[in-house]
Structure 1
Amino acid sequence: MRRREEEGADLSSMGNCKSSSRALLGKAHVVPDAEWRMQDFGKTHVPDLEWRIHDFSSLLETGAKAATSATFHCSGYNWQLQVIPMHKETGSETPYVALRLMTSPERMVPGHTMHVVFELSIYNHSKGMHCGCKASYNFHFKNSYSKEHCLIPLQELLKSSAFLVDDSCVFGVDILKIDVSSPEKKAVVVQKKATTVQNLFVQKKEFVKGTYTWNVNNFLELDTDNFVRSPTFEVGEHKWYVGMYPHGDKYSTDCLSLYLCLDASDELRLDLDASDELRLDSKKVFIMTLSILDQKNGKHLTATSGLWVCNKGCGWGWPNFFGLKKLKEPSGGYVVGSSCIVKADLTIIGSSNDG
């Protein structure tokens, strides 16, 4: 399970819905200010992941607050890189392109901390090297995403012929050191291998959209511990379903956990079609919105994700979607009698493949 924060909520990517059913070098952070200059960048190592975002202007036009890469693997852990194209630091009005690193907490034990040293970078085509910042972060069971690290003002990037070429830019992350704080005091050897290359393509128009409404008639009678799923529905040639933990999963705190999942039968179909080069090499990129409908006042509870790559065997959502106490308040209208209505809106906005 991978976790990160989107629009004020913890957004998680479930790694196995079927079974769980469920800096400148030497500086920790580039501080944005009006005196930012290109020379603030430091040279970084060759990254473990090189993420090429094509049609960067189209990414901005979607209005998505963030875009997240597909998973890459390093030293026995699963990682993802996230780009926040219009990040603003507290007290600043200047939008920056920022990056952050995320890991899957599936192998992490409550009470254990994983201290990771890494580099976040953007590729300078003129100099032929990755430039960026060195950072570190303590990941743990309920916090598997680092803080955002500003790399370059958005307007500087859009004007640059060094970092933006043919409306495309390349971001990177390199894992330098991993220390696990646990009773065993286990050290992790960072194994270097060839760079993983991924491409993200954002469509300019003709998005595929779909909506599904799930009326959970027996919400108050649902088992408190089990994962509950809706009937399947199809969007963008994939079968999906909405799933929930009515009283929260192990990553939540007194909250409803709500997810959008890729159906297992769809995964089988993808495997059977693996001989088709397009299906093998290309993954859908999507934005989703999950809502609990207010049946009395019309004040629906809604959360919208950033851009995600559709990997088979995964689901995406919020462990802490909404507090259980407020959810069940009669005046709120979210649970009427024993009925709770969940709505999923899904938009396919592009594709991703390995380079």
Structure 2
Amino acid sequence: MKKPPATMNTHSWTINKVSAVTEDEVYSGVFKVGKVMWKLSLFPRGFNSGKDTHLSIFLNVHDTAAFPNDWKVYAKFKIRVKSQATKNDIEKETDNWFCNSVDNWGFPTMMTLSQLNDSKNGFLLNDDLTVEVEILGMGMLK
């Protein structure tokens, strides 16, 4: 197990024209924390238990084929949906061991679609949505 990064590692992603997204799932660009490449996935109309009622967001290990067969990566992280008008972000924290059989982890019920679309909450500014992930700690099992 390696020590987690000494500094907080935050990646911000803005999805422009969210209402025009037709895909079930969209991905952020790839970003690196420690020795691991990550990406976020977002389901604008929900996934699994959040389907058609919630915004769903997950942290994904990118390019799992680059790891050895028995790889395991631990991450403790926060995902937040930024309010661009108020400072009342929606934030959830979790941790997980990522591996071949579980290469993503997150929140199928991050927030309700009614919360997201309520203009007084300020999550959609000019139809743009900003999501952040903050990786609080990491470890690798070799």
Match of 1:252 in 2: 50
Which of 11, 15, 24 matches 1:212?
Answer: 11
Offset of 1:206 from its aligned partner? 5.2
1:326 maps to 2:115 = yes
CA separation in 1, counterparts of 2:5 and 2:126?
40
Task: Give the letter aligned to residue 34 of structure 2.
Answer: G
Q: Which has the larger radius of gyration?
A: 1
Residue correspondence of structure 1 range 114-125 to structure 2 within 5 A: none
Offset of 1:226 from its aligned partner? 1.4
Q: Residues 261 and 252 (structure 1 numbering): CA distance in 2 closer, same or farther, change over 3 Å? A: same
Paired residues, number: 140
Offset of 1:288 from its aligned partner? 0.9
Offset of 1:208 from its aligned partner? 6.1
Which of 66, 74, 91 matches 1:269?
Answer: 66
Match of 2:135 in 1: 346
Local SS of the residue matching 1:316: strand
Q: Residues 281 and 207 (structure 1 numbering): CA distance in 2 closer, same or farther, change over 3 Å? A: farther
Match of 2:29 in 1: 231
Offset of 1:330 from its aligned partner? 0.8
Residue correspondence of structure 1 range 271-286 to structure 2 within 5 A: 274=68, 283-286=72-75
Offset of 1:209 from its aligned partner? 4.0
Offset of 1:233 from its aligned partner? 0.4
Q: Residues 309 and 328 (structure 1 numbering): CA distance in 2 closer, same or farther, change over 3 Å? A: same
Which of 70, 83, 89 matches 1:294?
Answer: 83
Task: Give the letter aligned to residue 268 of structure 1.
Answer: A
Root-mean-square deviation (Å): 2.2
Identity in percent = 18
Local SS of the residue matching 1:251: helix
Task: Give the letter aligned to residue 49 of structure 2.
Answer: Y
Cα deviation 1:236-277 (Å, max 9, x = unaligned)? 21111111110111321500111111113xx1221xxx3xxx
Are the counterparts in 1 of residues 70 and 99 from structure 2 also a CA contact under 8 Å?
no
Local SS of the residue matching 1:342: strand
Q: Residues 343 and 300 (structure 1 numbering): CA distance in 2 closer, same or farther, change over 3 Å? A: same
TM-score, length-scaled by structure 2: 0.86
1:308 maps to 2:135 = no
TM-score, length-scaled by structure 1: 0.37
Local SS of the residue matching 1:294: coil
Offset of 1:218 from its aligned partner? 1.4
Q: Residues 262 and 351 (structure 1 numbering): CA distance in 2 closer, same or farther, change over 3 Å? A: closer
Q: Residues 338 and 209 (structure 1 numbering): CA distance in 2 closer, same or farther, change over 3 Å? A: same
Match of 1:167 in 2: none
Are the counterparts in 1 of residues 44 and 56 from structure 2 also a CA contact under 8 Å?
yes
Q: 5+ unaligned residues in a row in structure 2: which ranges?
A: none
Cα deviation 1:153-176 (Å, max 9, x = unaligned)? xxxxxxxxxxxxxxxxxxxxxxxx
Offset of 1:335 from its aligned partner? 0.5
Offset of 1:285 from its aligned partner? 1.6
